């Protein structure tokens, strides 16, 4: 149960990072390719849906054993390709996304890569802070044990 809770917490954090980055991406793409369009309030749902799709792979890509750098890069590339495929399939099936216009599909694909990289960097920063905190706590514990002896 603890493993599921940890994975869920990571997915939850990633979800809100993705919502923020996807909202920015949609604004940029919208201003570049369709700045005259007026939307209703339902447009606020799209970043939430896209972020939920982007979080799905984190439930299937966890490994019990330590991965080599090569395997980690391969796994991250596969996750990116899966996310790209899901998002582009969604874009082609949505009537509101003008995929027939030149530059829209490459813009979406590049935007997904940028969001993927930025979310990975932000996650790394969070994990680095957690690792530092854990190392400091371990060092304090070792120092207190050494003083006790």
> Alpha-carbon distance 40 to 77, whole Å?
35
**Residues lower than pLDDT 50 in the chain:** none
Q: What is the pLDDT of residue 66?
A: 80
pTM for the complete prediction?
Answer: 0.78
Q: What is the pLDDT of residue 1?
A: 61
With residues binned 3-state (H G I as helix, E B as strand, rest as coil), the percentages for the chain, rounded to 5, are: 80, 0, 20
> Alpha-carbon distance 29 to 87, whole Å?
14
- Are 22 and 115 in contact by the 8 Å Cβ rule? The answer is yes
Q: What is the pLDDT of residue 132?
A: 93
> pLDDT tens for residues 82-107?
999 999 888 888 877 777 888 888 88
Q: What is the pLDDT of residue 19?
A: 92
> Alpha-carbon distance 7 to 2, whole Å?
9
């Amino acid at each position: 149960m603890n493993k599921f809770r940890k994975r869920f917490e990571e997915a939850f954090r990633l979800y809100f990072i993705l919502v923020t980055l996807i909202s920015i991406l949609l604004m940029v793409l919208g201003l570049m390719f369709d700045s005259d369009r007026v939307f209703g309030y339902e447009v606020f749902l799209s970043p939430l849906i896209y972020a939920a799709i982007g979080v799905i792979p984190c439930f299937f890509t966890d490994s019990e054993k330590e991965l080599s750098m090569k395997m980690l890069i391969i796994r991250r590339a596969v996750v990116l390709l899966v996310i790209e495929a899901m998002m582009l399939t969604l874009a082609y099936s949505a009537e509101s996304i003008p995929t027939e216009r030149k530059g829209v599909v490459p813009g979406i694909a590049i935007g997904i890569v940028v969001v993927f990289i930025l979310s990975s960097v932000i996650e790394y920063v969070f994990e680095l802070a957690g690792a530092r905190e854990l190392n400091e706590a371990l060092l304090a514990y070792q120092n207190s044990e050494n003083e006790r002896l």
